[in-house]
Amino acid sequence: MTKNADPFAADRDQLGSALFTPRSVALVGASADPSKLASRPQRVLRKHGFTGTIIPINPARTEINGDRAYPSLASVPEKIDHAFIMVPSAAVPGVIDDCVEAGVKVATIFTAGFAELGEAGRRVQDAMVEKAHQGGVRLIGPNCLGVVNVSGHTVLSANAVLESETLHSGHLSLVSQSGSMMGAIVSRAQTRGLGFSKLVSVGNECDVGVGEIVDCMVDDPATRCIMLFLETFRDAPRLGLAARRAYALGKPVIAFKLGRSAVGRQIATTHTGAIVGADDVANAFFKDNGIIRVETFEALYETAQLVNGFKPPKGKRVSVLTGTGGAAAMVVDRLGLTGIEVVGPTPKIMADLALQNIQVSDAPLIDMPMGRGEGKVYSTIINALMDSEHCDAVVAVQGSTATQNPESVRQRMLAATLGAKPLAIFLAPQADTALRILQDSNVAAFRTPEACADAVRAYCEWQVPTDHPGIDPQVLQSLNTTLQSIVGVPMHEQAAASALSVLGIPFAPSQVIASGAESVALQFPVVAKILSADIPHKTEVGGVVLNIVDAIELRTTVDAMLARITQSNPQAHIEGVLVQSMARGIAEVIVGYRRDPDVGPVVMVGVGGVMAELGGGHAVRLAPLTLAEAHKMIEEVPGFALLRGYRNQPSGDLTALAQVIHQMSLLACVETCVVTEAEINPLLVKSDGVLAVDALLVTAALNKETI
Amino acid sequence: MTKNADPFAADRDQLGSALFTPRSVALVGASADPSKLASRPQRVLRKHGFTGTIIPINPARTEINGDRAYPSLASVPEKIDHAFIMVPSAAVPGVIDDCVEAGVKVATIFTAGFAELGEAGRRVQDAMVEKAHQGGVRLIGPNCLGVVNVSGHTVLSANAVLESETLHSGHLSLVSQSGSMMGAIVSRAQTRGLGFSKLVSVGNECDVGVGEIVDCMVDDPATRCIMLFLETFRDAPRLGLAARRAYALGKPVIAFKLGRSAVGRQIATTHTGAIVGADDVANAFFKDNGIIRVETFEALYETAQLVNGFKPPKGKRVSVLTGTGGAAAMVVDRLGLTGIEVVGPTPKIMADLALQNIQVSDAPLIDMPMGRGEGKVYSTIINALMDSEHCDAVVAVQGSTATQNPESVRQRMLAATLGAKPLAIFLAPQADTALRILQDSNVAAFRTPEACADAVRAYCEWQVPTDHPGIDPQVLQSLNTTLQSIVGVPMHEQAAASALSVLGIPFAPSQVIASGAESVALQFPVVAKILSADIPHKTEVGGVVLNIVDAIELRTTVDAMLARITQSNPQAHIEGVLVQSMARGIAEVIVGYRRDPDVGPVVMVGVGGVMAELGGGHAVRLAPLTLAEAHKMIEEVPGFALLRGYRNQPSGDLTALAQVIHQMSLLACVETCVVTEAEINPLLVKSDGVLAVDALLVTAALNKETI
């Protein structure tokens, strides 16, 4: 995307300056009493050397701690770039009106008590945002801890950590949905020698969200790596675009996101997924947009140094060198559990090292006690691994030397070919000095084997942002027309199948009959299914009969079914009975599509039919997707072992399956309505082709809330 | 187990004294050159205040650093309790002979270069052990870093960490299969204020293994908690007994074991499991013997304080209180992923707190910002959770206060009802002082959300050592007789089925015929299977034909099969064709038994037939087991959803399935041979009863190597 084509560029420049480099800051609700929280931002601004104008707003004072105070924003004679609002929640909407009047560019609302408290709070918040939009004021928060520009000496926050800590300037920037975690991350990272450029606590994200902030950070020359501490998604599409821009500029985005477990989702967001768990969707979103996701807390800041300056790897192959077997085994074991390949040295490396009188085996772990050669041997091996194409990252583990002689750790690393590929150092003992020394030498160092393995895994799973395909214009037109005619209409199986057929998905031959008296031109055995948009769960009302062997049996079965269901479900409008030839595949598969409330259109594939309950796994991607990506999804599902040709059995037609996944994903392109949900379950995968035997489709009218 | 009934008590007392409280120590191969590794143990002994006699053995010196030196063990006039051997590997066997001559009680072999190098090294090692056994010398190592008694001022080691660190006396003891990890754990734990009683690096465990050392530690009055860093099992049965004794005396045993992944197993042990992954067996072993297993490194030492003084919990319910939502959510999310239930407060707790003017909701996370009530509110809520029966452990999370005001953290904790149940504190920011203060106050504190959640999970999954049932004497006699007659004989399906029938396992009706001309008295349809102990994979030679509908088809099928296989497998001895009535169950299950090389007899149950490939999971236990335990296994298998009554389908006869698991587990009781492996796959589970349709049984003669 070129700068010219970037629709957000101008807005972003304006927001970024008011956010991070305001020349004047109004502290609305500032207190002169140092024991009050509302007195802190003024002290914090001064402590960190803010050189602009500080304007306390307090009707009871004309001066606070040396700054001229004003009774209201309206009474301030000069222009205000940024207002930091600390008044009680009931007074906030009035202050926003004042901001509009005064032409404030950005208002950061520290005050809590809005959407996070429920529906009433949300209404107040929404009204406030509406007015701010009309008046051209951008809002951060509410319920947030503030905005920090470390190198710009602008620390606009009520956070206790930011009052006490000395902030170190550096190349990391952080966006956090949790205010308190901003302080926790800063205190931990700074202890390790990491410095920051920009920090933003976004709170409720009523207006400016994570995505837009990231987009501003991408433009910050001092920012080389962007870290995200996320609890939910509120502006996923914008975040996706910002992350892709960061990727293009070589600035890695690293995310830690809560909500991996059900209880985690319960407390972090209100949304819970159906078959596609919400966290799989989050993962799909991150991968799709080239975001690196870590799963351990310390890895959030420890990974920055590891990936800085690198692109996604070709493979997932890691070489490990250690001076202490047990410690390295902890890292290797974790890597193995996450599917990363731990590779021993190649014959060439072994031969090259042998020429230098260093003997190593081809075992996955190169165990080289430190005593030998005072570290020179160790550095030589690291260089051999760094220079070789056989691995994508190198892990080096150090034992007691890291405590006994921290300086030697630096020497060894400085002798290494840094920059060829990511190098992660895990230090087994307590070795705070060595950790700091390594960071100061721009080497990624890790405190725990878990964070080390997690960071290396996260790097190995990092992907180039995914390309999404377009749709054939003719197919799109048919889809638009077909779906437009049935928007919002409850659909029975046959209607859904008919609509999905437009995409080219093959359905099993079927025929609808109104009574047993009608004959069918289908091959027996057949299945008979009640056809009614009012009966979504056919099996539960006895609306499915399998394995009907001939016309006589069909007749009695259909009449009995109609009689039974007419009686049990008198309100249901019954369209007839769908009769379908019985078919068998090598395996039954589910292909699903839905518009996820967090990230938008997604497509999934997994083990279908009753076997879905066996836990064979599934794969999820953002839609639409290419055929190649659909093939990758199929590879990810462990339960598809049967399809891949199990024990001399015939294998399934994976090309045809990939085609259906691709076709379903094109529902994201429909322009005349919103496809809320679509599902084929089961799709029979045969050795030659696939056959859909049941379908579901839910549509809704377009509205402005649609992602 | 009473002291009188303990067969190891006397040996243990003798070993324990020579190991940990020797009055005299010979340093065989001691060097006078301080730059040599072999000079270190003498310095380390002195540094830590050893008050016994130090006897350097060095043929070239009569004195080393103030101690009288001797040319050989034989020339030492006084009695030697413990010899520490540092001579080159080739000289070690000779020194062991000297130890025998000199009546040394324990020899710790620091020297490496034995079984860890391969078969030749193993032979030398075995011969050495044989001589030591005959001569009454117990051996530690080889390839180990030594033995430490902190309070007894006996530090017998060549470890650099132990030379530099001041050792703090405390109540933790550690056995490590990795020498370097002993130092790493000590340095980390001591930084946190934890102190040690005994430390042993066991190396190759050629004689004294982890189990026997743990057994000695159980007798140590100063040891309250035993930590294990394990790479493999070499004396699992003894470790099991020792852990049970530790459990009975209220001394928790906490284990970190490598080999969770395949590559981890590759580097940690040579053993890899078949369907039952070796790590599941390790887990089963730990649970069986009341050992607490942690999965993160820091949790190994952080868990000690958490579980100290407690017994296994009734449930897996955890309450979480926090001053910072994001940080607590990290812990809760992890707990949720591992199946721990995070429970909100009960109505009673909410009412009681409301009386004290504290309002909390019933959400899983109690979020109570710290500002309110200066921590008193926080302590009051903790006490309410600690005193309630609705949860089994409490997690409390603290944010910036932990850094800003570490002392307040102590005050809050001292106001809490400690001792009612485990209380884990996670500190979100960098807060080294607060971590130390909490440890000094005997409160379990955690540095990372991952270790905190792991420790709490490990506590929640801790189980009372499992009771193993006996076997009915009549059944045992029949089994003994039946299996004795077929020891080591390759067995075809029918022979295996017949042997397993002795246990009461129901097999599908079948009949063996020699040719198609013979008729069968079985209900059609039937299956025909080639019967030959020489053809283990029947399907691959066309030796299985399903769904034969009548006698005519059976005749032609059987004759064709016999002709085909006689030609394709001319060497195979064919017993005939097994004809079996076709049967269908609600699900197909595999029940397996094997004598695991690590831990002995185990039984497993999982999804059977081709569905096993879908990854429906399985459960493993040490055998024999009770019916109640078999039921617990069934509950653990996610893939048994179909058996538990899926979507109005009939549920399977789980009682009959549990019975078969129990019956298979009784193979562990056989006295006349070793059952190496047994398997029923599939076992058809019907709504009423079960039916085994295929069986496998491998036996071997008894030998002294048998666990």
DSSP letter for each residue of B98-155: HHHHHT-SEEEE----SGGG-HHHHHHHHHHHHHHHHHT-EEE-SS--EEEETTTTEE
Position B390: which residue type?
H
- Asked if A404's CB is within 8 angstroms of B187's CB, the reply is no
Task: Write the secondary structure of A364-379 as one string of H (helix), E (strand) and C (coil).
Answer: CEEECCCCHHHHHHHH
Locate the chain B residue with the closest alpha carbon to A363. B267
Residues in A 580-609 with any Cβ partner in B closer than 8 A = 607
Q: How far is CA B598 from CA A336, B85, B468, B601, B621, in A?
A: 21, 29, 18, 9, 13
Question: Lowest-pLDDT range, A158-167, A339-348, B300-309, B322-331?
Answer: A158-167
Q: How confident is the model at residue A584 (pLDDT cuts 50, 70, 90)?
A: confident
Length of chain B measured in residues: 707
- Asked if A258's CB is within 8 angstroms of B178's CB, the reply is no
Question: Over the stretch A630-668, which tens digit does the pLDDT of each residue have?
Answer: 999 999 998 888 888 766 678 999 999 999 999 999 999
Length of chain A measured in residues: 707
Look at residue A6 in the predicted model and tell me its pLDDT.
Answer: 79
Residue A273, pLDDT above cutoff 90: no
B154 contacts chain A (CB < 8 A): no
B276 Cα to chain A: minimum distance (Å): 16
A180 contacts chain B (CB < 8 A): yes
A297 contacts chain B (CB < 8 A): yes
Which residue of A283, A400, A610 is the best one to mutate when testing the B interface, meaning the one whose CB has the most B CBs within 10 A?
A400
Burial class (CB in 10 A: 0-12, 13-18, 19+), B221: exposed
Residues of A in contact with B232 (CB under 8 A): none
Q: How confident is the model at residue A3 (pLDDT cuts 50, 70, 90)?
A: very low
What mean pLDDT do residues B164-191 have? 93
What mean pLDDT do residues A382-397 have? 95
B332 Cα to chain A: minimum distance (Å): 6
Query: Which element (helix H / strand E) includes A67?
Result: strand A67-68
Question: Over the stretch A206-265, which tens digit does the pLDDT of each residue have?
Answer: 999 999 999 999 999 999 999 999 998 989 999 999 999 999 999 999 999 998 888 887
Question: Over the stretch A585-620, which tens digit does the pLDDT of each residue have?
Answer: 888 999 999 999 889 999 999 988 767 766 678 999
Which residue of B143, B174, B267 is the best one to mutate when testing the A interface, meaning the one whose CB has the most A CBs within 10 A?
B267
Q: What is the mean pLDDT of chain A?
A: 91
Q: What is the dihedral of CA B430, B436, B437, B440, to 10 degrees?
A: 160
Residues of A in contact with B406 (CB under 8 A): none
A371 contacts chain B (CB < 8 A): yes
B184 Cα to chain A: minimum distance (Å): 4
Residues of A in contact with B260 (CB under 8 A): 333, 336-337
A58 Cα to chain B: minimum distance (Å): 23
Residues of B in contact with A584 (CB under 8 A): none
**Between B184, B297, B335, which is nearest A450 by CB?**
B297
Look at residue B271 in the predicted model and tell me its pLDDT.
Answer: 29
A400 contacts chain B (CB < 8 A): yes
- Asked if A330's CB is within 8 angstroms of B258's CB, the reply is yes
Residues of B in contact with A177 (CB under 8 A): 326
> The tokens of B199 are what?
């430390």
Look at residue A276 in the predicted model and tell me its pLDDT.
Answer: 39
Question: Over the stretch B82-130, which tens digit does the pLDDT of each residue have?
Answer: 999 999 999 999 999 999 999 999 999 999 999 888 889 999 999 999 9
- Asked if A164's CB is within 8 angstroms of B231's CB, the reply is no
B52 contacts chain A (CB < 8 A): no
- Chains A, B: CB pairs < 8 Å: 249
Locate the chain B residue with the closest alpha carbon to A450. B296
Q: Measured at the alpha carbon of residue B299, what is the angle toward residues B298 and B304, in degrees to the nearest 5?
A: 120
Radius of gyration of chain B (CA): 30
Non-local (6+) Cβ contacts of A300 within 8 A are A185, A227, A229, A254, A256, A294
pLDDT above 70: percentage of residues in chain B: 95
How far is residue A445's CA from residue A395's CA, in Å, rounded to a whole number?
Answer: 10
Look at residue B539 in the predicted model and tell me its pLDDT.
Answer: 82
What mean pLDDT do residues A177-194 have? 93
Question: pLDDT higher for A184 or A615?
Answer: A184
Assign A176 to helix, strand or coil. strand
Residue A372, pLDDT above cutoff 60: no
**Residue A594 phi/psi, 5° resolution?**
-155, 160
Q: What is the mean pLDDT of chain B?
A: 91
Residues in B 304-323 with any Cβ partner in A closer than 8 A = 323
B456 contacts chain A (CB < 8 A): no
B649 Cα to chain A: minimum distance (Å): 10
What mean pLDDT do residues B533-542 have? 85
Look at residue A704 in the predicted model and tell me its pLDDT.
Answer: 54
Question: pLDDT higher for B625 or B399?
Answer: B625
A9 Cα to chain B: minimum distance (Å): 32
**Between B333, B371, B617, which is nearest A259 by CB?**
B333
How far is residue A701's CA from residue A489's CA, in Å, rounded to a whole number?
Answer: 10
Question: Over the stretch B196-214, which tens digit does the pLDDT of each residue have?
Answer: 999 999 999 999 999 999 9
A640 Cα to chain B: minimum distance (Å): 7
Look at residue A271 in the predicted model and tell me its pLDDT.
Answer: 29
Look at residue A5 in the predicted model and tell me its pLDDT.
Answer: 67
Question: Over the stretch A56-96, which tens digit does the pLDDT of each residue have?
Answer: 999 999 999 999 999 999 999 999 999 999 999 999 999 99
- Asked if B258's CB is within 8 angstroms of A333's CB, the reply is yes
ipTM of this predicted structure = 0.93
Question: Lowest-pLDDT range, A397-401, A654-658, B289-293?
Answer: A397-401
B74 contacts chain A (CB < 8 A): no
Question: Over the stretch B412-453, which tens digit does the pLDDT of each residue have?
Answer: 777 777 788 999 999 999 999 999 999 998 999 999 999 999
How far is residue A543's CA from residue A568's CA, in Å, rounded to a whole number?
Answer: 11
Look at residue A490 in the predicted model and tell me its pLDDT.
Answer: 80
Query: Which element (helix H / strand E) includes B453?
Result: helix B449-461
Residue A420, pLDDT above cutoff 80: yes
What mean pLDDT do residues B574-595 have? 92
Strand bridging mode A196-201 / A169-176: parallel
Burial class (CB in 10 A: 0-12, 13-18, 19+), B350: middle
B613 contacts chain A (CB < 8 A): yes
pLDDT above 90: percentage of residues in chain B: 75
What mean pLDDT do residues A8-21 have? 91
Look at residue A414 in the predicted model and tell me its pLDDT.
Answer: 74
Residues of A in contact with B428 (CB under 8 A): 180-181, 184
- Asked if A329's CB is within 8 angstroms of B267's CB, the reply is yes
A318 Cα to chain B: minimum distance (Å): 12
Q: Which residue has the tokens 């395996």?
A: A587
Non-local (6+) Cβ contacts of A381 within 8 A are A321, A353, A358, A360, A366, A368
Please name every residue paired with B320 in a beta bridge, in sequence order, or none if there are none: B365, B395
Q: How confident is the model at residue B268 (pLDDT cuts 50, 70, 90)?
A: low
Residue B667, pLDDT above cutoff 80: yes
B681 contacts chain A (CB < 8 A): no
Which residue of A44, A614, A643, A648 is the best one to mutate when testing the B interface, meaning the one whose CB has the most B CBs within 10 A?
A614
Look at residue A8 in the predicted model and tell me its pLDDT.
Answer: 85
A326 Cα to chain B: minimum distance (Å): 5
Q: Which residue has the tokens 């150092």?
A: A425
